[in-house]
Amino acid sequence: MPEAIAFCVDEHAVPALEVRVNFGVFAGRQATPAEIDDLAHSLRDETGSFAILAEERHEFGGEIEAVVRQVVIEIDPGYTAAELDALCARVIARAERWAQECIHARSELGELGSEL
């Protein structure tokens, strides 16, 4: 039987912590693979195991269509609640710094890049 191109997922592992970066709202574009790699390098000393997803979601409903470009950081389980609170603050700080650096590095952003 050939591998399926599309399939349903019955169970989904829930990450212990999920941080969403509204990259597209501020950058006006999707994060590049090199920028995602930079973020990963920044996070390596904060947590041992994590995933980074660069999403471009197309949402539809009624007469509304939207494209959302986010970067999602998922931290694997294995932390206490107190550890997660502190880790969340550190990951958010690094993600915000990373996003600002990415946005400022692209001169074609014009006014959008200068507002951050």
Residue keyed to tokens 């599309």: 6
Query: What confidence score (pLDDT) does residue 110 get?
Result: 46
Query: What confidence score (pLDDT) does residue 30 get?
Result: 93
CB 54 within 8 A of CB 31: yes
Query: What confidence score (pLDDT) does residue 1 get?
Result: 62
45-74 tens-digit pLDDT? 998 899 999 999 999 999 999 999 999 999
Q: At the topology level of CATH, where does 17-115 sit? A: Alpha-Beta Plaits (3.30.70)
Rounded Cα distance between 57 and 71, Å, is 11
Query: What confidence score (pLDDT) does residue 108 get?
Result: 62
Q: How far is CA 46 from CA 41, 87, 98, 111, in A?
A: 10, 7, 14, 33
Query: What confidence score (pLDDT) does residue 107 get?
Result: 56
Whether the predicted pLDDT of 9 surpasses 90: no
18-47 tens-digit pLDDT? 999 999 999 989 999 999 999 999 999 998
Predicted model pTM? 0.82
Q: What is the mean pLDDT of the chain?
A: 88
CB 50 within 8 A of CB 74: yes
Question: Looking at residues 86-102, what average pLDDT do you find?
Answer: 95
